[in-house]
Amino acid sequence: MPTSSLVSEGFVRQATATCVGLGLPNLQVAKVKGHPGAQSAEELRRNILDATIEQVIANLTQMPAAAKELQEPGAHEIVFRGGFDAVNRFFYEHEYSDGLPIVPPTREKLESFLRYSDGDPDELLGVAMPDNRAATRWSIAVNGVMAGCRPEYMPVLVALVEAMLDPDYGNEHSGNSQGGETLIVLNGPVIKELEFNYVQGVLRDGYQANSSVGRFLRLYLRNVAGFLPQKTDKATFGNNWRVAAAENEDALKSISWEPNSVEMGYAAGANTVTIARYTGGNVISSVSGGTPEEMLPYLADALVRQTSWQLLYTVAHGGRLRPLLVLSPIIAETIAKAGWSKADVKRYLFDHARMPAHQFERMQRWAARPAWNLAEQVRLGNIPAMFHESDDPDRMVPLVWKPDDFMILVTGDPLRNNAYAFGHNGTCGYPVAREVKLPKEWKQLLAARR
């Protein structure tokens, strides 16, 4: 069936690569000059009539050239032999590395990783979009070795990929223009068993478990899912991969707050991995005060300041915005000392992390979405009535639909009163969790490794 897909000029290479991944390597596209969002109506009309229309007609009336079959090495095939420097040069030139030195994934190293995960190395765990490649324990081990992980991290890596493959997470959006990057959150005894950092310096490199597991995900997105810079990865301004975070469960237990794993549907004490994609963040320094009422206004304000265009996920995607607040233990302890639960904090944030309705709507207009009028959206039943309780343009409206949409972690320097606010990337990286399944002989393997 003849087709012609309109593609903005800056996305032509992405379209070409994505078509290959979808099994349609000769899908016909017509280029739209420049970017429609940065042109006047007259400029766009002229560009369409002068160039795009001719391509559309050609695509619909001429037989496309035969597609060339893409040849890739087999899963177990040795792709190169050589020393450390030669291997790294080969991997860099073939776009297998992230530009940093990688650990050559030899068969011996792969086998040591696979001992830490029960099951067939080639079992299909899922299909990674957009390139539609098979996700297997073997490919996980390959990229784990390359990232500098230790073999005993393998159960965490498998859970991480299983979460990534969940449709709710939306892995196919990992290269979207906003450049959001995934934060990996660990819970359970595995934090201490694998020596993840969960105190001072959280989110800073320097700890092998946190750093290498964070790097692994970006390598897996590159080598299996197929996200390559300036091709399918179209981040306008990229973030680097994030060092994995681990919650301080000792601090949580001391104040009787549930860990993130429980909020994600797992029992307390379960080993879990949670992933979500964030477009940016900012430290909230010196959160001072001796009561929740003194501390929380500062934190609520910080969440508002991290939220702008992301409000489209509140209005247009069923309220799927999940802003994240990371508290250092001493802040959480001060709040809990007053008898506040984590649910109480979320309720406060829901009630106070708000902005004037006119500002909410203005941000949508700035993002070229003038149809998103709050009154109209309430009338259509797309958003709750609380977003239009009056016609007062100064009325305060929430960022999210319900208190539980806010996520809260407790980690970092136990004696510093700092916090961190993250702006969420909505459906393009929605929070998803998976249990870390340890091999039957976990204790013995771990003891032998040490």
Mean pLDDT of 81-87: 97
Quote the pLDDT of residue 234: 80
More confident residue, 70 or 152: 152
211: in domain: no
CA dist 199 and 210 (Å) reads 12
Per the model's pLDDT, the better-predicted residue between 385 and 316 turns out to be 385
Per-residue model confidence (pLDDT) at position 65? 82
Claim: this prediction has a pTM higher than 0.85: yes
Say what percent of the chain tops pLDDT 90. 74
CB 364 within 8 A of CB 311: yes
Chain segment 371-404, per-residue pLDDT in tens: 679 999 999 999 999 999 999 999 999 999 999 9
330-339 pLDDT, tens digit each: 999 999 999 9
Containing domain of residue 38, as a range? 5-61
Distance (Å) of CA 450 to CA 69, 151, 195, 292: 47, 11, 12, 44
| CA separation for the pair 185, 204 (Å, rounded) | 14
pLDDT at 282: 92
Kindly state whether residue 93 falls inside one of the protein's structural domains: no
Question: pLDDT tens digits for 415-446?
Answer: 999 999 999 999 999 999 999 999 999 999 99
Q: What amino acid is encoded at 317 in this protein?
A: H
Q: What is the pLDDT of residue 402?
A: 97
Residue 204 pLDDT exceeds 70:
yes
Quote the pLDDT of residue 15. Answer: 81
Query: Residue 229: what pLDDT?
Result: 87
Question: Quick check: is 26 in a domain?
Answer: yes
Taking only the tens place, the pLDDT of each residue in 337-346 is: 999 999 999 9
Q: So what's the pLDDT on residue 368? A: 67
Instruction: Confirm whether 292 is domain-assigned.
Output: no
Is 126 contained in some domain?
A: no
Residue 22 placed within a domain:
yes
Among 351, 347, 362, CA closest to 397: 351
Q: pLDDT by residue (tens digit) across 21-72?
A: 777 878 889 899 988 888 888 989 998 998 899 999 998 999 888 877 777 8
pLDDT at 179: 80
Burial grade of 429 (CB within 10 A; 0-12, 13-18, 19 or more): buried
| Distance separating alpha carbons of residues 238 and 181, to the nearest angstrom | 8
pLDDT of residue 11: 82
Mean pLDDT across the chain, nearest whole number?
Answer: 93
Residues 253-269 have pLDDT tens digits of: 999 999 999 999 999 99
The pLDDT value given to residue 177: 79
pLDDT of 10 higher than 90: no
- What pLDDT shows up at residue 84? 97
pLDDT given at position 1: 84
| Range scoring the smallest mean pLDDT among 10-24, 79-93, 109-123 | 10-24
Q: How confident is the model at residue 370 (pLDDT cuts 50, 70, 90)?
A: low
The total domain count for the chain is: 1
Q: What percentage of the chain reaches a pLDDT higher than 70? A: 99
Domain assignment present for 176: no
pLDDT of 318: 84
- Binned at pLDDT 50, 70 and 90, residue 233 comes out as confident
User: Does a structural domain hold residue 32?
Assistant: yes
